[in-house]
């Protein structure tokens, strides 16, 4: 203990010198527009701004920073760090980045915030050590099946990992060693080959993950569990294919995975070491970058996190043990042990953010707005069974859908998840959605007579409810840009059946087909989020909505029913476009 305290006191003296160096050299951190230059500048900077508390809590490191500090300075002063690194567990990892350092007069520096806003993981090498035994193997299988003589050895793959992204990795490799003869002089064919190989590689990779042969890394489950217990939002940001990343996230368990946001694949133009994927997570989740902790395993991942203005903790993996992590806030071999489980808990020490009363009221008003779908649905049931008014039932269902379509925008604008952390608005939304999109259309089947046979009525209703229950509960029902499986549009299915009045055979066939598609992992367009074809999808969607609304105004009018039939053109577009984009790996 005495030796450790002496080391801490020496580090305190060193910190005072470091601050004066910072002030004299006027080093500053550049952000937008020159991320990599800023990182390179930091790498050339002298070791500074490393302070260690000399209190009895020696295990808690405090990284100092002023407004002019560059992020590469966190985790340097290597000699002092090594003295204590063996005594610091992963419990200190997140605490380090967010604990408040004691003031030491004019020379003191502080880094930290009252509370972490998010814990962000890289996927490959962090959640699981997948690069050598999964991704590399999957690439080689895809190459062999295609008849290519390309084989990536373990040593070669370690070098290839310097390029972020699977498609980019193949392109970089063949651009260097020469493209296969079949596509050597054809850039379009080269792109098509890379896309096809990457899709097949992803399928093989997912088979390997689903086989259970690739375990999570030590300490990951504990860290995620503790963070979620403290209501710290968790995200996974990766350059790998989104389907593959989601499959790895599932290894954490259904409950944990359902609360994790995934940002992966081609959702950004530039891959790591560019910060785009982390900036996307920051913007989507409305985070303060300085309050985010990223857990990475590679140098390019570290560069991406730092360029995004986030704190970064390194947990070394198979291919990254010898990489330069001097710019990291802390470096560990893994996150195992009881101390790792305490990391998230320590990270949240300090007072929680306070919000003005009117913002809290506004947040609860948004929740109330979401909940209004419940009385609307109740009145829809009354209209159907008491008033025997099918048109009113459909009108009320439309109103409930409108509420569902608009409450999310309000919730994000007010940031209800942070303002009312004790209230699960997502759970409320799911309850209302299941009633609006599935349960009410199911109970309306016998009441409306869209199916005449009583046994077939029950069959259609049960198929809709059970398949929708599966969709609502599976952790990968949505990706950043798509729905996975038929997205439970049962109210729309019922709408067409009620207006067009097809035969029992057609109705039952439709319900069986769509119920089966709920379990098939085909990706369907998410109209407000799928970037590919979005302008076309949105414009045609507006036209489709108008055509579908015609029977509400002119019930049983032949021309209105004809408009409803014409609206099938959009259904055909939506289905075909989804299948094409999925086949190309775009969604």
465-497: pLDDT as tens digits: 999 999 888 877 777 678 889 999 999 999 999
Per-residue pLDDT band at 54 (split at 50, 70, 90): very low
Check if the beta carbon of residue 491 is closer than 8 Å to that of residue 464: no
pLDDT of residue 353: 60
Q: Could you say which of 191, 210, 229 is where a domain stops?
A: 210
Long-range CB contacts (< 8 A, 24+ apart) of 458-461?
459/508, 459/511, 460/507, 460/508, 460/511
> Residue 306 domain-assigned?
no
Given the residues 122, 297, 377, 407, select the one marked as catalytic.
122
Q: Are residues 516 and 526 in the same domain?
A: no
Q: Are residues 484 and 414 in the same domain?
A: yes
pLDDT of residue 109: 23
Residues in Cβ contact with 218 at an 8 Å cutoff, skipping those fewer than 6 apart: 334, 335, 336, 337, 340
> Residue 163 domain-assigned?
yes
Q: What is the rounded distance in angstroms from the CA atom of residue 308 to the CA atom of residue 120? A: 12
pLDDT tens per residue, range 254-281: 888 888 999 987 778 788 888 999 999 9
Q: What is the rounded distance in angstroms from the CA atom of residue 339 to the CA atom of residue 92? A: 8
Q: In 10 A of CB 427, how many CB atoms?
A: 9
Record the tokens describing residue 565, joined without a space: 């039939």
Q: Are residues 537 and 485 in the same domain?
A: no
Check if the beta carbon of residue 223 is closer than 8 Å to that of residue 343: yes
Check if the beta carbon of residue 552 is closer than 8 Å to that of residue 395: yes
Domain count, the chain: 4
Q: Are residues 505 and 535 in the same domain?
A: no
More confident residue, 183 or 244: 183
Q: Are residues 541 and 487 in the same domain?
A: no
What is the dihedral sign for C-alpha 388, 392, 398, 404? negative
> Residue 506 domain-assigned?
yes
Q: Taking residues 376-382, what's their average pLDDT?
A: 95
Q: Taking residues 329-357, what's their average pLDDT?
A: 61
> Residue 113 domain-assigned?
no
Record the tokens describing residue 167, joined without a space: 């498609």
Residue showing tokens 């609860």: 364
Record the tokens describing residue 106, joined without a space: 């004019």
> Residue 498 domain-assigned?
yes
Record the tokens describing residue 22, joined without a space: 């910072």
The partner residues of 536 in beta bridges, in order of sequence, read none
pLDDT of residue 73: 35
Averaged pLDDT of the chain: 78
Q: Are residues 411 and 527 in the same domain?
A: no
Number of helical H runs and strand E runs in the chain: 27, 10
Q: Are residues 511 and 376 in the same domain?
A: yes
Q: Are residues 481 and 363 in the same domain?
A: yes
Given the residues 124, 297, 407, 429, select the one marked as catalytic.
124
pLDDT tens per residue, range 81-138: 333 333 334 444 444 444 433 333 322 222 333 467 899 999 988 998 888 878 899 9
Task: Identify which of 132, 524, 77 has the alpha carbon closest to the alpha carbon of residue 326.
Answer: 77
The partner residues of 478 in beta bridges, in order of sequence, read 483
**CATH code of 514's domain:** 1.20.120
Crossing angle for the helix pair 425-434 and 454-473, nearest 10 degrees?
160
SS3 assignment, position 118 = strand
Q: In 10 A of CB 263, how many CB atoms?
A: 25
**CATH code of 200's domain:** 1.10.150.240
Residues in Cβ contact with 123 at an 8 Å cutoff, skipping those fewer than 6 apart: 130, 236, 237, 238, 240, 245, 248, 249, 264
Q: What is the rounded distance in angstroms from the CA atom of residue 549 to the CA atom of residue 532? A: 27
Residues in Cβ contact with 113 at an 8 Å cutoff, skipping those fewer than 6 apart: 98, 288, 290, 291, 350
Angle at the Cα of 269 from the Cα atoms of 263 and 270, rounded to 5 degrees: 90
Q: Taking residues 551-580, what's their average pLDDT?
A: 90
Record the tokens describing residue 187, joined without a space: 């850039």
Q: Tell me the CA end-to-end span of the chain in Å, nearest whole number.
A: 56
Burial of 41 (0-12, 13-18, 19+ CB in 10 A): middle
Q: Could you say which of 76, 98, 120 is where a domain stops?
A: 98
Check if the beta carbon of residue 477 is closer than 8 Å to that of residue 254: no
What DSSP string describes 273-300?
TSSHHHHHHHHHHT--GGGEEEEE-SHH
The secondary structure of the chain in percent helix, strand, coil, rounded to multiples of 5, reads: 60, 5, 35
Q: What is the rounded distance in angstroms from the CA atom of residue 286 to the CA atom of residue 413? A: 9
By percentage, how much of the chain surpasses pLDDT 90? 37
Q: Are residues 21 and 68 in the same domain?
A: yes
pLDDT of residue 15: 39
> Residue 325 domain-assigned?
no
pLDDT tens per residue, range 56-85: 233 333 333 333 333 333 333 333 333 333
- Domain, as residue range, for 196: 130-210
By percentage, how much of the chain surpasses pLDDT 70? 77
pLDDT tens per residue, range 8-39: 443 344 334 333 433 443 333 333 333 333 33
Q: What is the rounded distance in angstroms from the CA atom of residue 275 to the CA atom of residue 258? A: 25
Q: Are residues 382 and 447 in the same domain?
A: yes
The partner residues of 262 in beta bridges, in order of sequence, read 236
Q: Is pLDDT at 444 greater than 60 in this prediction?
A: yes
> Residue 28 domain-assigned?
yes
SS3 assignment, position 261 = strand
Q: What is the dihedral of CA 469, 471, 475, 478, to 10 degrees?
A: -150
Query: Is the bond preceding residue 273 a cis peptide, omega within 30 degrees?
Result: yes
Q: Are residues 453 and 549 in the same domain?
A: no
pLDDT of residue 100: 33
Establish whether 556 is a catalytic residue.
no
Determine if the pTM surpasses 0.95. no
pLDDT of residue 395: 93
Rg (CA), the chain: 27
Residue showing tokens 């560990």: 332
Query: Is the bond preceding residue 576 a cis peptide, omega within 30 degrees?
Result: no
Q: Is pLDDT at 554 greater than 50 in this prediction?
A: yes
pLDDT of residue 544: 92
Task: Identify which of 377, 390, 368, 375 has the alpha carbon closest to the alpha carbon of residue 435.
Answer: 377
Burial of 561 (0-12, 13-18, 19+ CB in 10 A): middle
pLDDT of residue 115: 62
Q: Are residues 13 and 35 in the same domain?
A: yes
Q: Taking residues 379-398, what's their average pLDDT?
A: 93
pLDDT tens per residue, range 196-225: 999 998 888 888 888 877 888 888 888 898
Establish whether 338 is a catalytic residue.
no
pLDDT tens per residue, range 137-178: 999 999 999 999 899 998 888 888 888 788 889 999 999 999
Per-residue pLDDT band at 50 (split at 50, 70, 90): very low
Residue showing tokens 């004790």: 422
Q: Taking residues 423-441, what's their average pLDDT?
A: 93
Q: What is the rounded distance in angstroms from the CA atom of residue 428 to the CA atom of residue 258? A: 15
> Residue 312 domain-assigned?
no
Q: Could you say which of 491, 520, 549 is where a domain stops?
A: 520
């Amino acid at each position: 203990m005495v030796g450790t305290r002496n080391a801490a006191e020496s580090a305190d003296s060193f910190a005072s010198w470091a601050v004066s160096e910072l002030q004299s050299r006027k080093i500053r951190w550049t952000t937008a527009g020159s991320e990599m230059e800023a990182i390179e500048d930091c790498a050339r900077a002298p070791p500074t701004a490393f302070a260690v508390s000399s209190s009895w809590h020696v295990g808690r490191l405090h990284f100092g920073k002023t407004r002019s500090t560059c992020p590469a300075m966190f985790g340097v002063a290597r000699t002092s760090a090594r003295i204590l690194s063996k005594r610091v567990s992963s419990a200190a990892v997140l605490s380090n980045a967010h604990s408040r350092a004691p003031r030491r007069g004019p020379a003191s520096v502080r880094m930290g915030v009252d509370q972490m806003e998010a814990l962000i993981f890289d996927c490959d090498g962090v959640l699981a050590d997948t690069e050598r035994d999964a991704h590399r193997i999957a690439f080689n299988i895809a190459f062999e099946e295609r008849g290519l003589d390309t084989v990536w050895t373990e040593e070669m793959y370690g070098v290839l990992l310097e390029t972020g992204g699977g498609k980019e990795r193949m392109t970089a490799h063949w651009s260097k060693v020469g493209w296969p003869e079949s596509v050597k002089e054809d850039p379009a064919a080269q792109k098509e080959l890379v896309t096809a190989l990457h899709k097949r590689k992803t399928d093989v990779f997912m088979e390997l993950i689903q086989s259970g042969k690739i375990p999570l890394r030590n300490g990951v489950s504990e860290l995620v569990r503790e963070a979620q217990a403290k209501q710290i939002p968790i995200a996974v940001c990766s350059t790998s294919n989104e389907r593959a990343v989601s499959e790895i996230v599932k290894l954490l368990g259904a409950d944990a995975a359902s609360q994790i946001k995934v940002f992966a694949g081609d959702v950004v133009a530039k891959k790591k070491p560019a910060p785009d994927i982390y900036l996307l997570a920051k913007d989507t989740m409305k985070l303060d970058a300085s309050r985010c902790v990223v857990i990475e395993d590679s140098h390019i991942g570290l560069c991406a996190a730092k360029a995004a203005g986030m704190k970064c903790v390194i947990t070394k993996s198979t291919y990254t043990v010898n990489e330069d992590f001097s710019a990291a806030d802390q470096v560990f071999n893994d996150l195992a042990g009881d101390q790792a489980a305490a990391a998230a808990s320590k990270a949240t020490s300090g007072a929680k953010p306070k919000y003005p009363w009117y913002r809290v009221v506004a947040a609860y008003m948004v929740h109330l707005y979401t909940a209004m779908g419940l009385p609307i649905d109740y009145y829809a049931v009354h209209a159907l069974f008491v008033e025997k008014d099918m048109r009113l039932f459909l009108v009320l269902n439309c109103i409930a859908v409108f509420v569902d379509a608009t409450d999310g925008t309000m919730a994000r604008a007010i940031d209800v998840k942070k303002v009312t952390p004790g209230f699960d608005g997502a759970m409320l939304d799911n309850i209302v959605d299941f009633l609006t999109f599935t349960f009410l259309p199911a109970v309306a089947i016998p009441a409306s007579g869209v199916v005449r046979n009583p046994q077939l009525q029950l069959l259609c209703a049960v198929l809709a409810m059970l398949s929708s229950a599966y969709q609502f509960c599976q952790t990968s029902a949505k990706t950043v840009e798509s729905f996975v499986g038929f997205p439970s549009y049962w109210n729309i299915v019922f709408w067409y059946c009620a207006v067009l009045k097809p035969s029992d055979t057609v109705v039952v066939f439709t319900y069986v087909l769509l119920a089966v598609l709920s379990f098939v992992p085909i990706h369907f367009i998410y109209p407000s989020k799928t970037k590919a074809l979005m302008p076309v999808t949105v414009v045609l969607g507006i036209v489709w909505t108008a055509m579908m609304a015609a029977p509400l105004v002119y019930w049983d009018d032949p021309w209105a029913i004809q408009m409803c039939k014409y609206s099938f053109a959009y259904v055909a577009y939506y289905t075909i476009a989804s299948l094409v984009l999925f086949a190309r790996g775009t969604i």
